[in-house]
């Protein structure tokens, strides 16, 4: 049996939860105060006032019962009712029983009078505005009594509820404005962190409460450290790769001047392999370089890469519905380098490759498929790590790779706030690599 969890019904945003924390106590207090006012104060006051007027009604009943005749009783009751600010009809007719369903105090008045007078027959609270009409039985006939509703119930009892409601609304608005000002620095910090995750360095200054300022300062320090590490890594790899070019060039020149033997050819091949390694190191270093974002058309960028690959004799085709031109903020050189690596890997380990561009609602997806052996699912996480080689599980005839192609593509995706997904190609049966970049 599934366990009930209240978390699924709670707001997901901090603003929604803070508003809920604010409103729940206010609503609870309103309900408790309203219940106490209506059930305790309002009803008790009505009972007390009704009991007070019951003394006067009892005096009228006693006057009727003590009178020697109906005429004398009518004269005495009429004089006494005038002094008590009541209207009495004796002998009178029995009024109809009437009370509004929403008249809470009317129920209390009716019940209190019934408890005090066994001879109470009917009570009419509707026929005359703000007037209570009651029919009481006596030994000489029915006595009809009418008196003001104000004498048995508090006047304008809703004023306290209205005042309480208006005060609650006012305080809620003030709290909402204060809460919005307190959450604004948190939103700014979230936007800055999200932008940095997508490779954009937006200006941010800590603000708000002391805790939010501390978090903002920690974010700025973290961002500065990451930028320094990226810069140092780029400079180190670029410097090492550049310094290795000079001795390799001299070595290659010296070997080219030697006698053309089998050993010389092998050594020249080793030098060429080292040059390819250096180029791969440089590409890997450039993948994390702080290239500025530009508005470019990714459809045109990928189309040009496919055309260039075809001109180089590679079996690459652009498939699917080609989207219309669209401008996105990207690092064009980095994206170009990533797609080139995916295409080169596809034709390196397979005989042909298919490239597809898809514009999604919130992302750009560039898919590259090949007909090679693919990568087992258990090794895909390892495949995107730097200097990771899976040649033993792929194509041994393709030669040894450096192990940076997928790592560069994954770094480019992460620097844009996207991801590199590896899967199986349903069309060609090989590897399917998807470069997903947010829009």
pLDDT tens-digit readout, 225-241: 887 877 777 777 667 76
- pLDDT at position 389: 62
Considering the segment(s) 195-289 as one domain, its CATH architecture is Orthogonal Bundle (1.10)
pLDDT at 383 over 50: yes
Contact 133, 149 (CB under 8 A): no
| Residue 210: HSE in the Cβ half-sphere, 13 Å Cα cutoff | 0
Examine the pLDDT at 132 and tell me if it is beyond 70.
yes
Identify the residue with better confidence: 376 or 289. 376
Q: What CATH class does 9-155 carry?
A: alpha beta
Locate 206 and state its tokens: 């800590």
**Interatomic CA distance for residues 157 and 163, integer angstroms:** 11
Query: What is the rounded average pLDDT for all residues in the chain?
Result: 81
Residue 354: strand, helix, or coil: strand
- Report DSSP state, residue 206: -
Residue 360, classified by CB atoms within 10 Å of its CB into exposed (0-12), middle (13-18) or buried (19+), is exposed
CA–CA dist 199, 374 (Å, integer): 30
- Residue intervals of the chain classified under CATH 3.30.450 are 9-155
pTM of the shown model: 0.50
CATH number of 291-438: 3.30.565.10
Where does the chain hold its CATH 1.10.287.130 domain(s)? 195-289
The single-letter DSSP state of residue 7 is G
pLDDT, tens digit, 9 for 90 and up, residues 142-181: 899 999 988 888 766 566 677 777 887 888 788 778 878 8
* Residue range(s) of every CATH 3.30.565.10 domain in the chain: 291-438
Per-residue pLDDT tens over the stretch 409-436: 888 888 787 889 998 888 888 889 999 9
Tell me 151's DSSP state: G
Burial 298-337 (b: 16+ CB within 10 A, else e): bbebbeebbeebeeeebebebeeeeeeeeebbbbbebbbb
Helix (H) or strand (E) holding 350: none
| Residue 104 pLDDT greater than 80, yes or no | no
């Amino acid at each position: 049996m599934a366990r009930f969890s209240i978390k699924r019904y709670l707001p997901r945003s901090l603003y929604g939860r803070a508003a809920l924390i604010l409103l729940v106590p206010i609503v609870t207090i309103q309900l408790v105060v309203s219940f106490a006012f209506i059930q305790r104060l309002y009803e008790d006051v009505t009972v007390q006032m009704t009991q007070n007027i019951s003394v006067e009604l009892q005096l009228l009943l006693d006057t009727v019962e003590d009178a020697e005749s109906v005429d004398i009783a009518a004269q005495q009751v009429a004089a006494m009712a005038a002094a008590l600010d009541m209207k009495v009809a004796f002998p009178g007719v029995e009024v109809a029983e009437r009370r509004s369903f929403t008249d809470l105090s009317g129920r209390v008045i009716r019940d209190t009078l019934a408890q005090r007078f066994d001879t109470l027959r009917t009570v009419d609270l509707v026929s005359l505005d703000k007037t209570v009409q009651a029919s009481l039985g006596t030994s000489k006939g029915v006595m009809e009594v009418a008196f003001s509703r104000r004498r048995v119930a508090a006047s304008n009892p809703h004023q306290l509820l209205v005042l309480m409601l208006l005060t609650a609304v006012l305080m809620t608005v003030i709290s909402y404005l204060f809460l919005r000002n307190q959450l604004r620095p948190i939103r700014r910090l979230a936007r800055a962190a999200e932008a940095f995750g997508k490779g954009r360095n937006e200006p941010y200054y800590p603000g708000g409460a002391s805790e939010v300022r501390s978090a903002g300062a920690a974010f700025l320090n973290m961002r500065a450290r990451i930028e320094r590490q990226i810069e140092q890594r780029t400079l180190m790899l670029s410097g090492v790769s550049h310094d290795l070019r000079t001795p390799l060039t001299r070595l290659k020149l010296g070997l080219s001047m030697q006698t053309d033997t089998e050993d010389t050819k092998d050594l020249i091949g080793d030098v060429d392999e080292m040059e390819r390694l250096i180029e791969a190191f440089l590409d890997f270093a450039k993948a994390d370089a702080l290239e500025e974002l530009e508005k470019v058309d990714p459809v045109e960028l990928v189309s040009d890469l496919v055309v260039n690959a075809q001109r180089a004799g590679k079996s690459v085709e652009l498939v699917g519905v080609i989207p219309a031109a669209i401008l996105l903020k990207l690092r064009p050189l980095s994206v170009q380098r990533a797609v080139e690596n995916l295409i080169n890997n596809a034709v390196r380990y397979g005989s042909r490759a298919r490239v597809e561009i898809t514009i999604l609602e919130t992302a750009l997806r560039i898919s590259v498929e090949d007909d090679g052996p693919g990568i087992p699912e258990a090794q895909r996480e390892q495949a995107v790590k730097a200097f990771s080689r899976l040649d033993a599980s792929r194509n041994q005839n393709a030669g040894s790779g450096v192990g940076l192609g997928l790592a560069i593509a994954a770094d480019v995706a992460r620097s844009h706030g996207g991801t590199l997904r590896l899967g199986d190609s349903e069309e060609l049966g090989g590897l399917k690599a998807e470069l997903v970049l947010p829009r």
